[in-house]
Each structure stands twice: as C-alpha cells, then as structure tokens.
A and B are shown apart, each in its own frame.
Chain A
Amino acid sequence: MNVDIAALNPLEAHELVLAFAAQRGESALRLALHAAVPQVLRPDLLHLLRLNFVSDAPSDGSAAEADVLFAPFCEDIGNGYFRFAGNARRLLLRNLDPTYPDESVPRSARIGRFLAAWIDQQSRSAGPEYDALYAEYLEVERWSALGFLDADAAAAQLADAIRHALAAEETVARMRVGSLVAALSTPLGRYSRLLAYAAGLDAAQAGNAERARDLLYPLGKQALLVGAVRLDAPSEVLRKYVGTQRASGQRQAQAGARESEVAATDKPSVSQIFDADTAPWRPAVPAGAIYIIFRHGASAEETVRLGSFLRGRFGQAAVVWDLLPDELPLAMAAAHVALVVIGPDWLDPDETSGSRLPAHLRDLEVAMQDAIPIVPVLVRGARPPHPDELPASLRPFAELEAIALDDSRWEADCESLVEWLEELFTTQTGAPRRALATSDMVRRPYSIFISYAHEDERFKDELVQHLAGINRQGLIASWDDREIEGGDAWREKINDAMNVCDLAVLLISPAFIASGFINESELPELVKRRQSEGIRVLPVIVRSFAWHLEEIDQLQVRPKDGKALASLRTRDARDHAWTIIVQEIAGWARAHQASAGSKPWDGVDDTVQRPATRLRIHVSFTREDLAEYGAAVVRTLAQLGHSTTLEDVWPSQAPTLQRALIDIAHCDVFALIVGWSYRPGPPHNNPEQLSIDELEYRRARELGKPCLVFLLQPDPAALQSIERDTRLSAFRTQLARERNVWFFTTVQELEVLVIDAVRRLERDVNDELPSSQTPSPAASPDRPKTRSEAIAAAYGRSVSGMELNDLVVQMNKEMNAFIAELVAATDLPVREGDYFFLGRLGEGYERYPFNWEPFRDFAGPLLRYPDSIPVVMVSALGVSTIPPSASREERPRPHYRIFISPSHAIVDIVNVWLETLADDRSIPQDGGDQGYSWFFRNLGIAPEQLSAKARRFVNSFPSQPYA
C-alpha cells in the first residue's frame, strides 16, 4: 500500500482506521486503541498490552497483534520499532476511554500504570535488546506513561526540565524536549502552549529559525507559568536563540505594537497557559468552530493578529489555528467555517513538500471537501489567486468572495468579518455547511482536448462532427480549430489547452505512437494530470498497432472490443462506434455539470471519488447478525468519499441508543439495514418494546432525514430457521410502504446498491431538490453514471442494479402483458390473485430449492406500484421445483424464474431465460403468434446481443420473426 503514513491527514487517518476496524474486527481494534498509548511500539510491548488488557481472545490473539503491527496506519520504522500515524494515534486515543466507560480508573491511566511497571522492569533487566537506542526509547515512553497517568505532573516536570535547560545556558548542549512533544501531545492537550514552547525551543536550538518563530511568536511576551514553574517569556527565548531579524524592521515594530494592544485587551496574566480552562467564551460559537488556515512561516503574524481579534469577540476556544502543523490535531472536524489567510507569498513554491501540495493548500483542500463555508482573507495587499494558479481541485476557491484586511483599516475590516461570522453563527442550522458546494461554485463547461497525429486528421474531423451535437447543448466547451487542434503544431497553445482540459481524447495509431512529441511531452503530462488532478484520459484506437505503450496500458481503451476504427469498413459502422464514444463523453460532461466544478468523476479506474457534497451518514444495523453487511456499507460509503458516524463500527459499551439518536440528529442521511432479527430495545421510554432499529428509524422520520433502507432477503437455505416475528414483518412492511427500499442478499450486492442509492442522493442534493421518499421511476436522463463498470461493459451502456429495477418498474404494463403471454404460452395454471415475485438472489442460488412462502412479504411492498405485478422469475436452471409449502394450494404447479440480479447484465439474463424457455418442452415450440420480440426491443436489446440459441428460439415463432 503506497500510503505516506507520516503525512496522513485526519480524514485519511479516520478512513484508514474505519477500514481497519471493518476488516480486522473488534479485538484488533481494541488492541489498536491500547497500542496508541505508547508513542512508539515494540512487538513485545504490544503482546503484553494484549495479555493485560485485551486477553479475552484466546486463539486468534497473536493474529490481532499482527493486524495492529501491519495496520495501514502503522509504520515499521526499523529495528523492531513501530509507530502509528500521528492523526491515527490521536483518533484512537480520543476513543480509548469512551470505549471503556464503566471503569473507575480511566483505561488510558491504567495503561499508563502498566507502561510505568513495564518500563521499570525493562530498565532493570538487561535483556538482549537493551542497547542505547532502547534506553532512549524507554525514556521517551516514560514520559508517555506519566502523561497518561497524571497530565498535570507531566506538564510540571516538563516545564521544570525546560527551565533547567534554559538556566544552564550553554552547558546543557541540547535538550531534546521536542521529541517528547509528539509523545505528550494528546495527554497534555490542555497544555498546548507548553508543548508549543517546548517544540519551539527545540527548533530554535536546532537552528530552524522559521519554525521556532512560528511556534514561539504566537505565545506572546508573558512568562509561562506551569504549576509552580515559571518559564522565560517565549519572546525572550526567540531573542536569545533566533534573534529578531524579522522580514522588515518596520513590520516588526508594527507587530510589536499590535501584540501589546492585544495583550492590553486580554487579561495580562501568566495563568493564560491554561487558556482552555480559564478564558470565558460565548457558548453561541462552539469550540474550534472558526478555523484559520495560513501559510507557515509566511503569514503567522497576521494570523495571530486576526486570531486574537476574533478570540476577543468569539472566545478563546472558538478560534483555532494550527500552531504545530504535524503535532497538534487539525481541528477541522469541529470547524464550521474556515478563514484562509492569504499573503503575497501564499502561492510561492514550497521546496519542503516535494510533489505534494504545500501543507496550507492541503488544509484548504480538506476544508473544501468538507464543504464548510470558506472565506479568503487577503493581507499585506495580496491579490486573490487566479484560478489558473491553483491546482484543479482548488480552482473553485478562486471564485469565492474575499475579504481584504488592510493595515490602515485593520479594525474596521476585522469588524466586517466579525459581522459576517456573527450572521453565519446566528443563522447556521447546518445548512451553511453546504453553501460552498452548491451556490458558490461556478459552472464551467467540460473542456476537451484531442491529441492526434497529423495523419489521423480525418478521424479527428469525424469526432468533432460527432461532438457538435452535444456542443450545441452547451454541455461541453465550444472550441474553434485552434483550441482543439493537436498534432505537431503550435506547442504553446497545445500546452495551454492541455493544462485546462477535463478530458483528453487520444487518437491512437501507429503514427501517434511514433510521434516523438506526443510521447515525450503530451502524454506524460496528461498522465500526470490524470493522477494528480483526476482528469480523464480516453484512448481511442483509430488504427491498429502492434506494440504497447505503458501509459496507455493503464487506461481502458475505446472501442471496448479494442478493434480499431479504421478496420470498420463502412462509414455507418464507424459512426456507430463514434456514437457510443460520444455518448460516454456526454455522460461525463453531464456529471461534470452536476458536480458543479468539483473534481470530475473518474470512472475509468476505481480510485476514491470525491463527491461534490460530503454527506454525513448514520448507518444503523443490528450488530449480531448484520455486522459484515454494516461494515461493507461503511466501507463503501468511505470509498465514495462520505463520512459515517464513527460509532457504527466502534465497539463502544456506552449506551448506544442515546448516542445513536444524537448522531441521527446530526447526520445528513440515515441509512438502515434490516435483517431478520427484531430485538426489543431498552425498556426505558419504550412502551411498545420497539427495536433499536425501529426507534432510530422513527427518530429519523421525525426529523425528516432522507432515509436509505436496505432489506435483507433471506438465504433460501436458512428459511426454515427464520422466526416469523410479527413485529418484524410489520416493520418491514412499513418501511417498504414509506420508503424506497432496496433488497439484497450478499455483501457484494449490497455494495452495488449502496453506490447506487448514494449516487441518487448526491444527485438530489446537488439539484437542491428535497430528497423525495420515492425517487420517480421516470428518472431523468442525465443522471451521473455509476461506476459499476462490469454491468456497463456487458450492457453497452451504464446500468446499475437499481436502474434495472427501475426499468422493470417502468415497464410494468408491458410486463403484465408479457406475463399474460407467458402464461398463455406455457399453460400455467395461474388464477386471479396469484402472486408473482420480483426477487433478487445472490450467488450460489441455484443450489437451493426455491421456496415461495417467504416472498409473500415482499409482494406487499412491491404491489404498491398499482400496475405492477412484481415478477420473479428466475432461472438459470429451468428446473421447475415444487414449492414445499404447497399444501395449501390445491396442487403443485411449476413456475418459471428469471434472475434479476445486479451482478448480471440484463442481456445475460434475457439470454439465459430464452435458452431456458427453448429447452423447456412445456412451451409450444411451434409458436402461434406469441412473439417475444417486442419485449427485447423495449429493453433496448439489439438482435446481435442475443445468443444464437436465444435468437433461434425467438425466430421459431414464425409470425413475428425477430431481427
């Protein structure tokens, strides 16, 4: 896995931990929670943590150890030392004590005690590992242990140590308190100023002046008081180690003046080190709600000045900026609004970040993905960034209205910002979190770049002709020849066009591959942009060629069968091929418009997609029987870029119902998976003895949350053992009546359905439509395509499982007629009032005898479409089984089954079904006038898509020959 573990941001860490929990299960997660306490892990220490704290898993215990050591957020740093990513460790630590709410001593403190005992034993016994490195490791862990045992004592001792180091002048050559900051950052969260002080001192002694200034400057000029220890003022330390050569003397003087103003307005007390404890703040603005992003080393002064001003208005805790970029949590999760401080050097290249975005732009990216309101704040006369200067993912940022803070009108400008913020926080009821994604972004037409070799110009012309139609619809950017022209002319213009395109179409031919220009400059550039910005690259094979190009091999080529366009003899056939390609492009262009300028979908490969709006989804399921399904849903949602409430996978023993109800109130969408168990929830306030699921569902309904409901269909093998609980039946029927429900059998099916359901929801949110309870079956033609490529590939166009479902619903009338025909043709003894069922069964269905009885539950929900006769019908086998519960019928009857399954393309299903009919002797082979061809035409299936056998069968009805 190519994850840069050290650089994981909180969201990535969150997702990795969720995935880990889902994949490795509870005991591994519990062990990981404990293993987060020491800053660095050793396998032996991990083993003892398991024995002491998670020992209940006797057999697979050491597997849990392996899981933690090889977890995606754990890094092997050599010599038998392992380390969690900082943000993953913080996330785990935040959840450690709440996971064990009933203990008299907090779990973290107990681990601290254990660590103390272990360190004591290790430092006394000179084991085989004991070397200098190990001794130092134990010293650092000693601090971790103390931090978790007694944070106040740790802070006092640390401060004392710093005081000694400072007092000793040059004699203590260097004291590495900095390395302790990482170990202590979580337990000493309250002492953020002390930690910043320690890290700043470390940086200063190491000669990293910029970082020292970033850390120490905001701490002000007062001495720090920790417990009984008084530390020199941070400004003193700066002067002593770094000097005061700030950019210009004048600004330094100004900054000093401002600082003293700020100091005058604040209470000038050394006790401010406990800032979170002592300072009053207005409850109207939650802690951490205002988050300031700035470039470290560039705009620290202005940030501190602005931040202090806002703290004066909204309270100390409300305003957060990131002092220690790598070591303190990015409080982004709590942020309601992000202010981006932009100085003149905001976009200057940053050597330290390498190929990645600089840290402040990464923060901005996270904020934009979170879809919280963002305000650019211009300082020192900086101008707003131009879209072309920004990476593609940040471009919408340039469209936002900026507030300029001018030195001469600082107070007034800040006041206007405060006004704006006050308005935000008085009106905010969750809605503004979405403001940026919908209204503030500017729609930009989809722009296409065509790369081709000169010899292939005629293919380019054909493509342009085909694109003309969707160009007139305004779906794609208009162009003239100069813009779209590729080939070997006009390099600069080509570069320009290439750098802004959303889609690059490569017309691949021997000439294309032979062209040095294309290979050396265009192609690598496009591939790079594809990886970094997610643009699409679509290779179209126009003439056959014999060798491979590494870049192209990674992409899916068109036409999908890999046949070159030139090999298609007739113009007609070529037009057909182009039409398919252009339809695909039109789909992307629509998706691009729908997502309003955010990163275009990348459906060609399976990388994580970023939705325009990041939804917070509460997933509810009964843990006893649906854990696997629930984990799959959580995982799928994370892959789609949405967040789920963490408690869904957290092995918490806290009263889950209350917590869940709170979560539901704060989520955007409520997803419910219902299986076959119905256990009454807690008796308190629950006179009807409803299950937790049902209580949660009622809550979501009260709050008017959009609901996604997934119902488990029974495994036919297990039918007999299902308890027929009337309350469960009632609940399932109610769900089906009130909501659009999705049925599933296997995890894989559920995943496909979740993708589809969420896509619909995204579309609803993006269209700013109220999310209707029953999406109209007459779905709009321009829905974004799903990425279930397998189905699309087989079907020739993009079709999801639910769309299949819709197709069936839409065609109820035809289906009714069809059933009538089928009944007539097969002479089934069907009477009025008989059920037909639409079922969706999973893999391996053919092994089970089919049982009618349980499907009666589903007939109800499906019958709400007035004209529908839900049909099932299913069959890869063509075997007529006799329903075991047939006793109440007068006589057993054969039935026919068609499998409608998201894992099968409808073409396959129809083929199987026709072949089945062909084999079935009970169908009159000599025909009559019961033609089947209308049915396939309605499904949009072309004659050549039918298998030979199926075609023969259809054509055996002489009155209506097909094709």
Chain B
Amino acid sequence: MTVPLPLEGLYLHLVRSGFPISTRDFEDALTGLELGHGALTRERLHWLCETLWVRSDEERVRLDRLFRDLPRPSDETIAALTGSTARARGDKKSELGREPSEIDRAPARAAGPSVEFVGTQASGVALPRASLPVNPDEAFILTPRLPVSLRSLIVILRRFRLAKRSGPKTELDIDATVAEQARRGTIVEPVLVAARRNQARLIVAVDASPSMTPWRRFYRGVAEALERSQLGYSALYYFSNVPRGVLFESDRVLRPQSIVDVAKQHGACALLVLSDAGAARGATNRRRVEQTKGFVSDAADAPWRPLAWVNPMPHSRWRGTTAERIAALPGVNMFELNEDGLVQAIDLLRGKHSVLAT
C-alpha cells in the first residue's frame, strides 16, 4: 500500500471541484514543501497554496473558504505530527487561530443625523438608504458560474468538425506539384487546392420560457461559444416551451420567424435544442409532448437532423415529467447539460451514434 503524498487530498478535491490547476502545480507545491515552505502550520500551508495556485480573486476566495471549512485537527494530533512543544502551540494559536471579528456596530449607531434618501424613478417616492457597515473580512464569490464553462463549451463545440475542401484554391498541393514537375521535368507553377474548412452546420434552439429562468445567464455563453467555435455555419434561435411553427431571434422571444422561413434561410443543419422540457417544474403535460412531436417532425422536414436535446435538469429529475416522454419520442436524444452530456450530444450530431446515453 502506498502512502499518499502530502497535499494529495487537497489537490484532488480542488481538481474535482473545477479548480483550474494541473499536476505541474501540484509538483510545485510538493517542491515548496520539501524546501520547508508551508510546513508546520495551517496558515503557512495556506499561504503556500495561495502563492502557487491562485490566479484570480475568485480562486483566492474559494481556496480561503476551503481552508476555513476544513476541520481543525485536535491539539494532540498537531503535537503528534509536529512534535512541537505545548508552549509554542499556544503562541501560534493566539496569533493565528483568529476568530472572525464581531460585526461592527459602531458606524450605524454613530451615524446619527445624516439620512440619505434615494429618489427612485420606479415609484417616484423616496426610499431611505441603509448604510451598511464596511464589508468584514469574509470574502464571497460574486461571479456567477455557468453550468459548463465558456472554455469547455467552445472546446466541445469544436469537436463538431466536418472538414472538406471548398472555396478559393489557396493551399499548396505538394504531392501534385512534385508529380507535375517530375512529369514535365521543369519548374512549373505550384498546384493549388482549396483549403480544408469545417463544413459542420449547426442550429441551436434555446428555450427561453420562464421555467428556464435559472439557466438564463447561460444563453450569452452559448451565443459567444457559437461565435468562437469555428463551426462552418451556425445560427441561434429561441422559443418558448415548444417551438410551434415559429422561432424567435431574441431571448425575450421577440421577432418571430416561421420555421419554414428559417429553413429556407439556413438549409440543412444539425439541430441542438436546449430546454428543460418541463422537468424544471416537474409536471406532465401531454399536449406539450404532442406539440414537441410536431416540432421534431417539422425540424426533420427542414431538414435539420440529427437532433440532440440538452436538458439542464439532471437525468434523475426527468422521471414522471414531460421530459421523460419527450426523451422517449422517436428522433429525440436527450442529454444532461454538463460536459459529458454535451460531448455526447455533439458526438451524436457528428454521427457517432455509438455513445448514445440510455
């Protein structure tokens, strides 16, 4: 049985929770430990990890949080591990085991007469402004996270490749050129061919109904990822619950266009649908299933196929809802909205049926 490396648990935990560090960072930390940095106390270890691993404010907050939540080992354990004397331990504790400070009550009390009123346009009446104490030492995550990070999303979309030569002839065809020279025996013009381009065509249809509210911030990520995905051709449309004959250009479901028009505009494409299919509210709606069936056949006529459906609700929550029935419709393959699910969805779109989720 092998003894685990120091810090291994911490490192693995961070990696699993999506912290962007690599084996290289881990090795750096080990080297640091060997050189005597970060040993003996939790605070110094924290300092070491922060120095080596943290690349943004947000990452620092997360690391702080982790260290704070980690249960403090008993004094006996520390003594056994470090062999340091009780006295030294006591000193460190008073210095480092600082309790979070009490809430600062002073400013509000002392603030006295100065009350700020905020006239707001919304209601036309004044609202007094509460003066909040200065943010105490606890740091918080204030940036929302996407269910799939933008970077992963772009990487996954780039899996969707269908490289063919097309367009103007710009690339040197060395084999042909050499063969031509050999045939003629003189220096000739180089032979050019068209460059390989990604011919993958994708339409993404996103459900912008109220039940998708929790994932609204993901829409912008999808739009940006599509732009940067180097797809041959892509378009983004929205619908509300079920696309019934029309798709919308904006996520506020404005500017409708009939599917027939959209089909004329874009021609044959693969179709990726992002919708909870009724799983978020957890109800079953037979009509919605029927309407979805209609849409699936419309899409197949468009012709947009194959169709991959990505559902932000986890698979376990489809059961007993409309989503379960929709997932079972012929021509629909439904995946969870996470990296694995998206990879499977894209693989399906590029024709690898073997990895279908069941």
Which of chain A's residues have a CB closer than 8 A to the CB of B211?
66, 70
* B-chain residues with CB within 8 Å of residue A136 when the two chains form the complex: 118, 120, 122-123, 127
Chain A residues numbered 100-115 whose CB sits less than 8 Å from any CB in chain B? 104-105, 109-110, 113-114
The answer to whether B105 has its CB under 8 Å from any CB of chain A is: yes
Q: How far is the CB of B132 from chain A (nearest CB, A)?
A: 5
Partner of B313, one of A66, A116, A142, A161: A66
Tell me the nearest residue of chain B to A179, going by C-beta: B127
Partner of B138, one of A110, A139, A152, A172: A110
Residues of A within 8 A of B135 (CB): 113, 116-117, 120
- Beyond A132-B120, A149-B103, whether A113 also contacts B138 by CB under 8 A is yes
In the bound assembly, the distance between CA atoms of A579 and B241 in angstroms comes to 52
Query: B15 CB to closest chain A CB, in angstroms?
Result: 12
Q: Please measure, in the bound complex, the distance between the C-alpha atom of A104 and the C-alpha atom of B100, giving whole angstroms.
A: 8
Contact between B126 and A176, CB atoms less than 8 A apart: yes
* A817 located at the interface, meaning its Cβ lies under 8 Å from any Cβ of chain B in the complex: no
Chain B residues positioned under 8 Å from A140 (CB to CB): 127
Say yes or no: A132 contacts B122, CB within 8 Å: yes
Partner of B17, one of A58, A135, A139, A175: A58
Q: A44-B144, A51-B141 are in contact. Are A157 and B130 (CB under 8 A)?
A: yes
CA distance A44 to B144 in the complex (A): 7
Instruction: Tell whether, in the assembled complex, residue A62 and residue B142 are in contact, meaning their CB atoms are under 8 Å apart.
Output: no
Q: Chain B residues with Cβ under 8 A from A164's Cβ?
A: 115, 117, 128
Tell me whether B108 is interfacial, beta carbon within 8 Å. yes
Q: A113-B135, A116-B135 are in contact. Are A173 and B313 (CB under 8 A)?
A: no
The answer on a CB contact under 8 Å between B108 and A118 is no
- B60 contacts the other chain (CB 8 A): no
Q: Does B74 contact A (CB under 8 A)?
A: no
Considering only residues 194-216 of chain B, those with a C-beta below 8 Å from chain A are 210-211, 213-216
Asked if A177 and B210 sit within 8 Å, CB to CB, the answer is: no
For B137, the closest partner residue in chain A by CB is A113
Instruction: Give A147-189 as 1s and 0s: 1 = Cβ < 8 Å from B's Cβ atoms.
Output: 0011011101110110011000000111111011000000000
Question: Are the CB atoms of B132 and A62 closer together than 8 Å?
Answer: no
The answer to whether A65 touches B132, judged by C-beta atoms less than 8 angstroms apart, is: no
Question: B214, A117: Cβ atoms under 8 Å?
Answer: no
Instruction: Specify which chain B residues have a CB less than 8 angstroms from the CB of A105 in the assembled complex.
Output: 100, 103
Closest Cβ–Cβ distance, residue B106 to chain A (whole Å) = 9
CB atoms of A60 and B316 under 8 A apart = yes
Q: Which of B75-130 contact A (CB under 8 A)?
A: 99-100, 103, 105, 108-109, 111-113, 115, 117-118, 120-123, 125-130
Contacts of B130 in A (CB 8 A): 139, 142-143, 145-146, 154, 157
Residue from A116, A135, A176 within 8 A of B125 (CB atoms): A176
Contact A69 B316 (CB under 8 A): no
User: How long is the Cα–Cα vector from A152 to B110 in the complex, in angstroms?
Assistant: 12
Asked if A59 is at the interface (CB within 8 A of a chain B CB), the reply is yes
- Quick one: closest A residue to B135, CB to CB? A117
A63 to B316, CA, bound (A): 10
Does B140 have its Cβ within 8 Å of any Cβ on chain A?
Answer: yes
Q: A69-B213, A136-B122 known; A149 and B133 CB under 8 Å? A: yes
User: Given A63-B313, A113-B136 in contact, is the A152-B105 Cβ separation under 8 Å?
Assistant: yes
Say yes or no: is B358 at the interface (Cβ < 8 Å to chain A).
no
B132 touches A139 (CB 8 A): no
Select one of A47, A119, A133, A146 contacting B144, CB under 8 A. Answer: A47
Number of A-B contacts (CB under 8 A): 163
Contacts of B127 in A (CB 8 A): 136, 139-140, 175-176, 179-180
Residues from chain B with a CB closer than 8 A to the CB of A65 are 214
Least distance between B153 CB and chain A CB atoms (Å): 15
B115 contacts which chain A residues (CB < 8 A)? Answer: 157, 160-161, 164
Asked whether, in the complex, the Cβ of A59 is within 8 Å of the Cβ of B213, the reply is no
| A46: Cβ under 8 A from any B Cβ | yes
Query: Chain B interface: which size bin?
Result: 35 or more
Provide the bound-state CA to CA distance between A113 and B138, in Å. Answer: 8
Q: Give the shortest distance, in Å, between A106 (CB) and chain B (any CB).
A: 10
Interface residue? B169 (CB, 8 A): no
Q: Is B232 an interface residue (CB 8 A)?
A: no
Q: Is the CB of B132 within 8 A of A176?
A: no
Which DSSP category, helix, strand, loop or mixed, fits chain B's interface? loop
Q: B243 in the interface, Cβ–Cβ < 8 Å?
A: no
Q: Interface size for chain A: under 10, 10 to 19, 20 to 34, or 35 or more residues?
A: 35 or more
Is B338 located at the chain interface by the 8 A CB criterion? yes
Min distance, Cβ B335 to any Cβ of chain A, angstroms: 14
**Chain A residues within an 8 Å CB radius of B214:** 43, 46-47, 62, 65-66, 69
CB closest chain-B residue, reference A24: B282
Give the nearest-CB partner of A160 in chain B: B115
Q: List chain A residues, Cβ under 8 A from B215.
A: 62
> By the criterion CB–CB under 8 Å, are A114 and B117 in contact?
no
* Cβ-closest chain A residue relative to B215: A62
Question: Within 8 Å of chain A (Cβ to Cβ): is B42?
Answer: no
The distance from the CB of A183 to the nearest CB of chain B, in whole angstroms, is 10
Cross-chain contact B125 with A173 (CB below 8 angstroms): yes
Which residue in chain B gives the minimum CB-CB distance to A139? B127
Complex Cα gap A62–B211 (Å): 12
Contacts A132-B122, A142-B130 given; does A117 touch B142 at CB 8 Å: yes
Least Cβ–Cβ distance between A864 and chain B, in angstroms: 41
The residues of A that contact B126 with a CB separation of less than 8 Å are 172-176
Given the interface pairs A46-B214, A63-B317, A69-B214, the reply to whether A132 lies near B118 with Cβ below 8 Å is no
A353 at the interface (CB under 8 A from B): no
**Interface check A121, CB cutoff 8 A:** yes
> In the assembly, what is the distance between CA of A174 and CA of B122, in Å?
14
Contact partner of B133 (CB less than 8 A), chosen from A59, A118, A139, A150, is: A150
Among A114, A165, A228, contact of B112 (Cβ-Cβ < 8 Å): A228
State the Cβ distance, A648 to closest chain B Cβ, in Å: 23
B123 touches A116 (CB 8 A): no
Whole-angstrom CA separation of A164 from B111 in the bound complex: 14
Residues of B contacting A531 with CB < 8 Å?
A: none
Residues of A within 8 A of B131 (CB): 146, 157
Please give, as numbers and ranges, the residues of chain B lying within 8 Å of A145 by CB-CB distance.
Answer: 130, 132
Do A176 and B312 contact each other (CB < 8 Å), given the known contacts A119-B132, A160-B112? no
Asked if A157 contacts B108 (CB within 8 A), the reply is: yes
Contact of A118 among B121, B142, B147, B312 (CB under 8 A): B142
Give every chain A residue within 8 A of B141 (Cβ-Cβ). Answer: 48, 51-52
User: A156 to B108, Cβ gap below 8 A?
Assistant: yes
Q: Are A109's CB and B118's CB within 8 A?
A: no
C-alpha spacing A545/B267, complex, angstroms? 56
CA–CA, A871 and B291, complex, Å? 52
A720 to B115, CA, bound (A): 72
Residue A715 lies at the interface, judged by CB distance under 8 Å to chain B: no
Would you give the shortest CB distance from A838 to chain B, in whole angstroms? 33
B228 CB–A CB distance under 8 Å: no
A419 in contact (CB, < 8 A): no
The residues of B that contact A172 with a CB separation of less than 8 Å are 117, 126
Residues of B that sit less than 8 Å from A by CB: 16-17, 99-100, 103, 105, 108-109, 111-113, 115, 117-118, 120-123, 125-133, 135-136, 138-142, 144-145, 147, 210-211, 213-217, 276, 280-282, 312-314, 316-317, 338
Write 22 A-B pairs (CB below 8 A) sorted by A numbering: A51-B141, A59-B314, A62-B214, A120-B135, A132-B122, A142-B130, A145-B132, A149-B103, A152-B105, A152-B108, A153-B105, A153-B133, A154-B130, A157-B111, A158-B128, A164-B115, A164-B128, A174-B125, A174-B126, A177-B128, A179-B127, A180-B128
Q: A114-B140, A139-B127, A157-B128 are in contact. List 19 more A-B contacts (CB 8 A).
A: A44-B144, A51-B141, A52-B140, A66-B280, A70-B211, A80-B213, A104-B100, A121-B142, A135-B121, A146-B132, A150-B133, A153-B105, A157-B108, A160-B113, A161-B117, A174-B125, A174-B126, A175-B117, A175-B127
Rank and list the top 7 A-B pairs by shortest CB-CB distance, nearest first.
A153-B108, A161-B128, A132-B121, A136-B120, A65-B214, A132-B122, A66-B280
Binding site for B on A (CB under 8 A): 43-44, 46-48, 51-52, 58-60, 62-63, 65-66, 69-70, 76, 80, 104-105, 109-110, 113-114, 116-121, 132-133, 135-136, 139-140, 142-143, 145-146, 149-150, 152-154, 156-158, 160-161, 164-165, 172-177, 179-180, 227-228
